[in-house]
Amino acid sequence: MLRPPLIWPSSLTPAGEVAAIKSLSAHVSALPYSVEAWEAALLLYQTANSPPPAINRDIASRWRWVACSECVLELYHLRARLEKIQSVRLRGCPSLRPLVDISRLRSARKRLDDYFPDIEALRHATAHKGENEAHPEVHAPDGQFALTGFREPDRFSAPYHGRLHQLDITNHSLERVSEVVAEFLGAFELAAAELERQGHLD
C-alpha cells in the first residue's frame, strides 16, 4: 500500500494556516484509497470473468458492468482530487508552497491524462448511459447504436459525441494509477520532512 507523507502543522506554522494544512493533510492522506478502490473494482471485474461455481453467470456478468463503471468513476474522481489539491487546498498553505515540488504535481497530473486520455468522456458516457443510448445520432461513432461494451478483451468502451472512448480494465492500468499517485505524493516529501523537523502540533 502507498504511504502518504505526513503533512501536519508544526510549531512554526502560521496560525492562519493551521486549519488549511490539516485540510490538505486529509486530502493527501486519502489519495492511496483511490488506488485501493480501483484495485477492488479490478478484482471484482476479474472475479466476474472467472466466477466461482457458486456464483450465477448472469450475476457475474452484471458484476462486470458494476466494476467497469467503478473503474471509470474512480479515475474521474482521482483526476478531480489531484487538481483540487494543487489548485485549491495548497493555495491556503503559502508557507508550505516553497517546500512542495509543484513540477512533480503537474507531471503526475499530466501522466494521468496521458495514460487515460478518455477519462472525462468515459465518465459522461457512463453516468448518462441511458440518455446516450437513446440518442445514437449524437453519440454513436458508426451512426448506428450508442452501446457500451467490450469490443476487445478487457477493454471497456463507450461512445460519446461521435467517438468511441476506451479504458483497459487490467493490472497494467492499476499499476499506472498507482504510479501516478506515488509521484503526486512524492511531491510532498520535503514539506513533510520540514514540518516534522520543526515539531508537529498536537
Q: Tell me: the pLDDT tens digits for 31-46?
A: 999 999 999 999 999 9
**CA neighbor of 172 nearest in space, from 71, 104, 82:** 71
Q: Are 118 and 156 in contact (CB under 8 A)?
A: no
**CA neighbor of 112 nearest in space, from 4, 27, 31, 7:** 31
Separation of alpha carbons 162 and 140, rounded Å = 5
DSSP β-bridge partners for residue 163: 160
State the pLDDT at residue 151.
Answer: 82
Q: What percent of the chain has pLDDT over 70?
A: 90
What pLDDT band is residue 156 in, cutting at 50, 70 and 90? very high
Which residue has better confidence, 28 or 128?
28
Q: What is the pLDDT of residues 103-114, one digit of tens each?
A: 999 999 999 999
Amino acid identity, position 147: L
Separation of alpha carbons 160 and 198, rounded Å = 51
Q: Domain ranges for the chain, please list them.
A: 16-198
pLDDT of 146 above 70: no
